[in-house]
Structure 1
Amino acid sequence: MDTHTGQFIEQADPHVTIYATLSHTWDSEGEQTYRELQEIQRIYDPGGHRLSAINPTPTSMVSLDGFRYIWIDSCCIEKQSSSELSEAINSMYAWYRDSKLCYAFLADVSACGTTEDWKTQFSQSRWFRRGWTLQELIAPSEVVFLSQEWEPLGTKHDLAEAVEEITGIDQDVLKHELPLDCVSVAKRMSWASGRETTRVEDEAYSLLGIFDINMTMLYGEGRRAFRRLQEEILLRIPDQTLFAW
């Protein structure tokens, strides 16, 4: 999305565009979908008026930080198209990995009060318990954590020790000093063990990027999705720790 105009742009190769990403936990009452934004965009002059009806806080912040473009999974994917959804889920890790910066919005952490107050809230945030945010934490080279007031709390590098304690993910992985393929399958699986997803299939689909796996999306297959993921891991990664897990 163009933060200056509020319009979508088509970009098949994200490497040619400098952009930021937004990571957040889903809000069933506040999410704007791709089609809803398309409808808003039709109301305004596509030639350049800023679309104030589009969530102004992230787009304004990203623009002020010097980014012309932002990618947000909740509104930049046409989820009613099964083919686009499948492609997007298989490419999700790459979208976050290739972004210049990822903003992680923690809706349940307030910057008001003492440092100890927000650090306690930070450690208990549901953002660290959701399935999809695992790859959104690991994939980007840098993550900025934002409070519910959209105030910066610190970066992934600044808070690496605290994040490691919360998630069990080694600091050298968080800082991209150790490649994922140097980490055992069992260890990578352990990072997801305490996380939850709304759809049972997403327990598997949210881990595709963590294991560099591509799979067909079959919503409705239930727990079989995780079995298919394990089978794909066995085919691709010669690591017997999967059985230990």
Structure 2
Amino acid sequence: MNRIDVLFNRLRSEGRRALMPFITAGDPDLPTTAALITELVARGAHMVEVGIPYSDPIADGPVIAESYHRALTKGIKLSHIFQTIRTLRAETATGTLTVAPLVTMVSYSIIHKQGVDRYLRDAVTAGIDGLIVPDLPVEESESLCRKATAFDLRLIQLITPTTPRTRAVQIARSTTGFVYYVSVAGITGERKSIPPELAENVAWLRTQTDLPICIGFGISSADHVKELAPVADGLIVGSAIVRRLADAENRHRTEIVKEIGDFVAELTNGLKT
């Protein structure tokens, strides 16, 4: 059974929520990426979203876009990323990382260039559990969803506050794993407050799907996590983590990993209060 499904089945039975940090693969380097994945799960993250660097990111703000640029200028390639994750899964054959899902945020251009079947096969053999493809319209997602399911991968799709409700229902019905609900219209980035209509929008979406609903974009503090925990099945934190990585790029890996781990531990505490 797919690790994403197992995770949310367990958390729902326990009345708990998931924390899903985002990191860019290869920023500042792949050994740090591997160390971070291990540390984040050890510090309470339930799932990790790994951004596949792309030269023309679709929905990402400047913090994540710049992290993609840093990784690409160092020559990071998809095969390197999958090998890093494959090695990490093999080296952690026991413990919490074994059961923690890993999800890639990836442009469809990369999947198409690699070849859909090859991408999915390489992803699943590396130990990936799902993919988020922000530039793939729902009208064109049926084939990818069907093939991903055949590989026991989940295709997670995004719904935004400006998505018409009829289209939101269509997206939810063509999604597997969980629904990624974008908290605000626009690009990724840290924000000071959460839109007041968010809870109402998510409550409506729950009447349309039985899938878990995870909220992302703009969540950047333990207070945000605490505020949204009653609303969501999972919370995704990206730019706040990637910014800390950028600020610490000239420091020793051990120090960087601990600092990010401390921040994620702080976020997970927001789930408990």
TM-score > 0.5 by shorter chain:
no
Bigger helix fraction: 2
Rg larger for: 1
Query: Which TM bucket (shorter chain)?
Result: under 0.3
> Structure 2-normalised TM-score?
0.25
> Structure 1-normalised TM-score?
0.27
Instruction: Tell me which of the two structures has the higher relative contact order, counting C-alpha pairs closer than 8 angstroms and 6 or more residues apart.
Output: 2
